[in-house]
Chains A and B, each alone.
Chain A
Amino acid sequence: MKNHSELINTKLADTQMRANLDSAMHALQDRRLALINSKFKQWEGLRQRAKNAKDNALFTLKDRVLEFEKNATKNGMKVHYASICEDACEIVYNLMIEKKISKVLKGKSMASEEIGLNHYLEKKGLIATETDLGELILQLGNETPVHIVVPAIHKNRYEIGELFAEKLGVEKESEPEKLNAIARVHLRNEFENLQMGLSGVNFAISSKGAIWLIENEGNGRMCTTSPDIHVAICGIEKIVESFNDAATTDTLLTPSATGQFIPAYNNIITGPRKEGELDGPKEVHIILFNNHRTNILSNKDYYEALRCIRCGACMNFCPVYDKIGGHSYDAVYPGPIGEVISPQLFGMKEHSDILSLCSLCGRCSEVCPVKIPLDSMIRKLRRDKIGEYEENAPLGASELEHSSLEKGGFSAFTKMATSATLWRTGLANASKFNWFVQSFGGHIPVLSRWAKYKDLPKLEGNLYKEISKLDGVSYE
């Protein structure tokens, strides 16, 4: 784990990244709002339907998983189960070894990021190459995604042009079309000898045993149709019951993510190439993985986080995210949803430091298409972090150390706030902004942290005395 404040201060000081993010995030916000206003009559109703569809699947998840397995198998797909990240990586590795494949091409998949696939394969001497433009940029620059939908959004076109020139030996360009063309030429060579393609899953439809993938660039379709073997990595929460449920949720996804009405490609995959068909993979493997999702599901305070459809709207609208960028979260999933799930998927010990990256403004919950109460979950995770958890505590919560200084501060604050005499005595000295100091007694120098960037107000007068003199006011 990197040093929290050091990481954040470095990112805050990166003026280029902040300018890129500021303009990109505001553009995404404006596009989403304009689209909702112009194209949708009942956006709120759609949100409620999608919430119901996802909840229905979550409440019956065991049945849905088994139903998906049954129907996908019937369709000729091979279903694998993985409990933890390493299991999922191992399944991909074993498949590659079995088929004597040394390189796999990937469409965009946050699930593969979550399990750390590229790194795992690399350690074993195998190669995973990204084909999504954003992911390719990151791979060339040896970076991790900064965002779950637009992974390289922190970079502008000039920076990308320089990276391409340096890594791919091409002329330095900055026009988006030319940059696209460079990536296309580069990837075409990669696609030529493709044996195994890898993808994520947006929706797995249990009643049909099908998977649904959305994308904008066509590379995902290349990865899933042109090689002989297609492997899809799917968190179990991606399962919905019916095509209707998937369609409802899909309708919310791209508008929320990028402000597009529909994605450029909707791929519905129902199995490998059939007898007599000319193309498509000969084998389709689905890896259903858990990685502590069933723990989240069993917790009344957090199960709703599993409704997430990975649209990234919460980060697009987060006023903290656009100041510090996704890398500040030092986790696979950044932004508000990342704050909620990263500590639970990977452990509070490693990731609970990010729970302070939120002003609880509530905008994430307001824009979340499937109504996940993100801000309230972040607050509850803070409760779990300080050790006041009730049942089914998130992964590793019991191993955390607690600040007795902070606890003491709040306990003193509570003592004051529940005693009229203590409170009035305390506030009699408020003229030096003592209220703030006393409120967070354990956190001195709180005052200096506040005053570093802000001038303090000037205080005067005795409020209680003034009020008791007012006409028509009972002071009792």
Chain B
Amino acid sequence: MSEGLGEEVKTNPQGDVITAAPAPTKEAKKGAAAQRVVDPDYLFLQAPREKTFITGSEAAKEAIRRANVDVAISYPITPQSETMQQVGYLYAEGYVKDYYRGEEEYGVMSAIAGASRSGVRCLSATAGPGLMRGLEVISSWPGGRLPAVLLIMCRVINAPLAIQPDNVELSYMLNTGCLLFHAENQQDFYDYALAAFMIGEKPEVTLPVAVAVDGFFVTHARGWVSLPAADIKLPPRDCYHEAVPMMDNENPPIRISRDAPIQKSNFISYQMHASWQQEIWAAQERSRKWIERWLGGLVEVVNPKAKIMIVASGAAVSQSREAVRQAAEQGIEVGLVKIKSVRPFPAEEVRAALDHAEKILVPEFNYVGWLAKEVKSTIRGSERVISGPRVFGGMSMPTELILEYIMGTPNRR
């Protein structure tokens, strides 16, 4: 304790000293106040950018700095904690209007739902087991037609305990109704997160957007990120132009909001519920236009004519790019389909890109192979798909492993 020094030391209820980052400088606070709103097209596509060498977490922070976020709520869990700690700095500097730590992830995701219903722009982030804890509430967001952005920094789901990257958690997200983008690197994490706010808030979409990235490989590693100036930001959420009315206690009738339909035991009552669910997935389809516009498409295709094609998302794309390069050195042409948007799934684009392929590999950072299942259920001739290679439990993916599969899977044809 610092008794006698004349300074009061703050402690938590357990008596631990609370440490904090230095108070923001006046200069930093001026930055937030000076930001001006620009058209999203300008911010995403036209504004001059400068390259900077930063971590994935810092890239997310830079996205949030320009996102005009009203409320950020989070509960710490590795590897997400670092990003949300940085969001705390943004709050201190005035870039985020409100910020707090929830009691746990269920509470956080519930609080985000409440905030979104009130019409403000919301953000949360989580990882692995935290996502599992919040998943019940997250699954209710799309039905509530609640725009919000959820950053998912993937990690192993227990047990055995590990904090390393593994994106099996995304298999749980596939059918929640949330839009789901999977970022390959730091640049993607910046671009996808920022665009996610605008895409989810489009009136015809009005859905939550999850932006996933493979933890540590991207969140804690540095990469080159092109950023526009920090003095511009997105327009605020325009909640009066969305698919559902927000809670508005100053305009009658308050209860016009999203009351659940009364469920009587008859077909027509349940038909209303069924139509409601259909509408969520229809709204996903409507998001394609904006993903095309602001993320340059739902997929990226490299070497489109190659007979051997790799399909990957997230950090597995980077390993695949390198495997494609190494295969070329050996005189083998290999193509690559990068899946940017997992939901909506780019079925048409994937079918078109793989129609000619003789062999299709799907490298993944998880045991269950959710992406391989998606690809198999989408294309004609699913026997062409080799579900692998896969690594999990926090392993990295050596490019040699992908090359082995390109040359011929060990112990297989």
Chains A and B form a bound pair:
no
Chain B residues in the interface with A (C-beta under 8 A): none
Chain A residues in the interface with B (C-beta under 8 A): none
